[in-house]
Amino acid sequence: MLVKTILVFLGLMVLVALIGRALFPSALPRIMRKRAAPPVCAKCGRYLIGRKTCDCGNKAGEGKAK
């Protein structure tokens, strides 16, 4: 009986999580969000792959894809 109660509780928690993601997609952590375009440097336009800054000195993520 206890195992059945635990499984029902976990199932309800999964259901609440799925509904929450459907209703409030902007509440997801940044890591889980899908990007519309790959990050590019705002100054030079090069793609940023796994770096915090570009070689030209501009910070990553400041620019948008052109």
pLDDT tens-digit map of 18-42: 998 888 877 766 666 666 778 888 7
Closest CA to 50 of 64, 61, 65: 61
Cβ atoms of 13 and 4 within 8 Å: the answer is no
Contacts (Cβ under 8 Å, ≥6 apart) of 18: none
pLDDT tens-digit map of 39-51: 888 788 888 787 6
- Collapse the DSSP code of 5 into the 3-class scheme (helix H, G, I; strand E, B; otherwise coil) and give the result: helix
Residue 15: its pLDDT value, please? 96
Q: How far is CA 4 from CA 12, 13, 14, 17, in A?
A: 12, 14, 15, 20
Per-residue confidence band for 2, with pLDDT thresholds at 50, 70 and 90: very high
Average pLDDT over residues 48-59: 73
